[in-house]
Amino acid sequence: MDKKMKKDSLLKSSLWISISGIISRILAVVYIIPWNIWIGPLAVNAANAMYGKVYNIYNLFLIIATAGIPSAISKEVAAHNALGRFDQSEKLFKKYSFYMTLVGIGCAAIMFFGAKYVAIVLAAGDMRVVTPIKYLSVAMLIIPALGILRGYIQGYAFISYSAFSQVIEQIARVAYMLYATYTIMILQKGNYISAVNQSTLASFIGATLAYVFLLWIRVKVRRSVTIDDIKTKDDLPTDETIDINFGSMLRSAIPFLLVDTIMTVLQLFDQTTFTWIYQLILHASEKTIDNLYAMFGFQANKIIMVLVSLAISVSASVIPALSAMVSKKVSNEYIQNFMRKIVQFTVFIILPATFGVMAISRQLWTAFVFYDQSILGSKVLIVSCFEAFFYCLFMILENILQVTHHMKKSMIYLAIAYLLKIVLQLPLTLALGVYGPVVATTIAFVIMSHFAFRLINKQFAIVDKELGKKLIRILIDGVIMLVVVVVANLLIVQVISDATKVGAIIVIAICGVLGILVYGFLSYKDGSLNILKDIRDTKIY
């Protein structure tokens, strides 16, 4: 028997997923610098638009193939393990793995053999995406199994290992993308379409390495379960066993699937409707459409995904923790206290990160795209930051609704969010141009976050005067940090030119360190920093 592995606390799991998510997203953003340079200024917007469209399609199939399983299985495994039913956890893992491998094979077949029709429906008929869709179909053969394994590991409260596997996956993916692009564009003097095609194959390579790593962790996790942890049949009520079949799996997973897919579905909606609006109503050229779509649908989206990864870290930790509490039937007062910590922790992490990206938006655009687009690009990025912030809140609140048995209301709010987006898309795009799709999505998330939080607060009475004061202090700290960084930015660029990528990165580094120091000092002085101490010893189960 191996030495018993220590489970992650809520703070440790959140921090690990935050760190791994940020590293993964930073890698996903940083590779753009050499990738864009090697593609070349003449083809870069067309390549970005093409790559963005392909990956939005891939993400849809990816989420369908995993079907919300990582969240669903982590919720169920945590609930069973909290009661000592490790045998049920193993049954869940094995049957889910079998079912979802079949789903992955089905999705891969649709992507490979139906790539042309997928391009017509989801990419406004852009035939450039047909070949890369076929390349990405290979990754679908392993992604579902990887999702199952991640959810299983998270359910055992070893979230740090699941998080680390994402870093492995991203490093391998980015390394192959850069190798392939350099070889094709620089050594072979090829074209951007070939580079994009090869870049998409990197997803399969990254997923395979991450899967091998997690298989090794699974062996260690199973060996860490001692005889004392396992409850015998006599210790459990007779109705505690579960029937595991494809139907029960889907009932558990589909609500998580619908929440996980919303951003991807909305991005697909953007890439088709934005193209149609600009072609049929505004009569814009393909080059103009590529330039504008690449700006909000790929470049800004890549950067704000760093913020979204923070929300994913909180959400992935909250689901198993809250599920375990519900399964153990702890008091509402205990859950109320837990949720107050989550609300404060979420705002404490995501708000300053959002303000920080807004403060250095122009330098970020120069560093990861090009300086000559940085004025319009930075404005698009600032608007996208609002979208990212409210998407983060919406996703966390929706997952809480599902774990606390508000599935029906959760799905209703999700449907209304889609409806709002559909209604607002055309008028806002015509009125605001490139900002329109982003503003439409933001409004949908704001309204639905309000309804979701109101329902949760009605059940658990989370909001009180004390929490209100804490959140206001965090907001004030964030605003002060924003003002300080903006002023510092204006002064620094008088000395260091941010017109080059190197200069922009130096300004980003200085402003980033300054922002962290200012926010850290303010939150320490007014006590906001204590939230890290408050949740440090909160166990997942």
Average pLDDT value over all residues in the chain? 78
Asked if 38 and 185 count as a contact pair (C-beta separation under 8 A), the reply is yes
Mind listing the pLDDT tens digit for each residue in 202-229? 888 998 999 999 888 888 777 766 544 4
Lowest model confidence (mean pLDDT) among 89-93, 159-163, 338-342, 536-540: 536-540
- The better pLDDT of the pair 452, 69 is held by 452
Could you say which DSSP state residue 360 is in?
A: T
Three-state secondary-structure class, residue 539: strand
Determine the average pLDDT of the residues in 360-379.
Answer: 78
Does pLDDT of 527 surpass 60? Answer: yes
Buried/exposed 245-268: b ≥16 CB within 10 Å, e otherwise: eeeebbebbebbbbbbbbbbbbbb
User: What Cα–Cα distance (Å) separates residue 191 from each residue in 113, 126, 142, 202, 299?
Assistant: 25, 17, 29, 18, 21
How many C-beta atoms lie closer than 10 Å to residue 422's C-beta? 14
Question: With 90 as the cut, is the pLDDT of residue 353 above it?
Answer: no
Higher pLDDT pick, 266 / 319:
266
- For residue 39, count CB atoms less than 10 angstroms from its CB and return exposed for 0-12, middle for 13-18, buried for 19 or more: buried
Provide the sign of the torsion angle of the four alpha carbons 370, 18, 316, 310, taken in this order.
negative
Burial class (CB in 10 A: 0-12, 13-18, 19+), 403: buried
pLDDT tops 80 at residue 537: no
pLDDT score recorded for residue 238: 43
The dihedral built from the CA positions of residue 213, 218, 219 and 221, taken in this order, carries a sign that is positive
- Matching residue, tokens 């909001």: 463
Query: What pLDDT is recorded for position 540?
Result: 47
Instruction: State the pLDDT at residue 68.
Output: 59
Whether residue 109 has pLDDT greater than 80: yes
Residue 240 scores a pLDDT above 60: no
At 443, the pLDDT band (50, 70, 90 cuts) reads very high
Residue 319: band (very low, low, confident or very high) from pLDDT cuts 50, 70, 90: low
- What integer pLDDT is reported at residue 370 of this predicted model? 64
Residues 21 and 306: their CA atoms lie apart, in Å, by 7
What pTM value is reported for the model? Answer: 0.69
Q: Please, what is the angle between helix 69-82 and helix 86-113, to 10°? A: 170
Instruction: Determine the average pLDDT of the residues in 157-184.
Output: 84
Segment 259-312, tens digit of pLDDT = 667 777 888 888 788 888 888 888 888 788 877 887 777 777 777 777 776 666
CB 294 within 8 A of CB 143: no
Residue 247 pLDDT > 60: yes
Tokens of 434: 């490139």
* Mean pLDDT of the region 165-188: 88
Side-chain half-sphere exposure of 70, counting CA atoms within 13 A: 24
Work out the average pLDDT over 52-71: 72
Task: Give the pLDDT of residue 70.
Answer: 65
Alpha-carbon distances, residue 323 vs 81, 320, 330 (angstroms)? 11, 5, 11
pLDDT of residue 234: 46
The whole-number pLDDT of residue 1 equals 39
Average pLDDT over residues 368-387: 80
Helix (H, G, I), strand (E, B) or coil at 9: strand
Are the beta carbons of 156 and 217 closer than 8 angstroms? no
Tokens of 269: 């909606």
DSSP string, 372-418: GGHHHHHHHHHHHHHHHHHHHHHHHHHHHHHHTT-HHHHHHHHHHHH
In the three-class reduction of DSSP (H, G, I as helix; E, B as strand; rest coil), residue 284 is classed as coil
CA of 310: how far to CAs of 19, 127, 219, 299, 533, in Å? 8, 35, 29, 19, 18
pLDDT score for 228 = 47
Cα 303 from chain centre: 12
Q: What is the mean predicted confidence (pLDDT) over 80-89?
A: 71
Rounded CA separation 195/316 (Å): 34
Rg (CA), the chain: 23
10 Å CB burial of residue 419 (0-12, 13-18, 19+) is exposed
Looking at 242-246, 472-476, 499-503, 513-517, which range is the least confident one? 242-246
The answer to whether the CB of 92 falls within 8 A of the CB of 77 is: yes
pLDDT at position 510: 93
Q: Which residue has the higher pLDDT, 94 or 518?
A: 518
**What does the pLDDT read at residue 223?**
73
Q: Please say whether the beta carbons of 259 and 68 come within 8 A.
A: yes
Q: Is the model's pLDDT at 482 over the cut of 80?
A: yes
Q: What is the pLDDT of residue 518?
A: 94
Res. 372 pLDDT band, cuts 50 70 90: low
Alpha carbons within 13 A on the beta-carbon side of 20: 23
Instruction: Please state the rounded mean pLDDT for residues 470-480.
Output: 91
Residues 62-85: what's their mean pLDDT?
A: 68
- Greatest Cα pair distance, the chain, in angstroms, is 74
CA distance linking residue 451 with residue 320, whole number of Å:
23
* pLDDT tens digits, 400-435: 787 777 778 888 888 888 899 999 999 998 998 889
Mean pLDDT across the stretch 334-357? Answer: 83
Task: Give the span between the Cα atoms of 334 and 460, in whole angstroms.
Answer: 10
pLDDT value of residue 468: 85
State the helix-helix crossing angle for 374-403 and 300-327, rounded to 10 degrees. 10
Q: Mind spelling out the 3-state secondary structure of 459-499?
A: HHCCCCHHHHHHHHHHHHHHHHHHHHHHHHHHHHHHHCCCC
Exposure string (b/e) for 180-212, b if CB count within 10 Å is 16 or more? Answer: bbbebbeeeeeebbbbbbbbbbbbbbbbbebbe
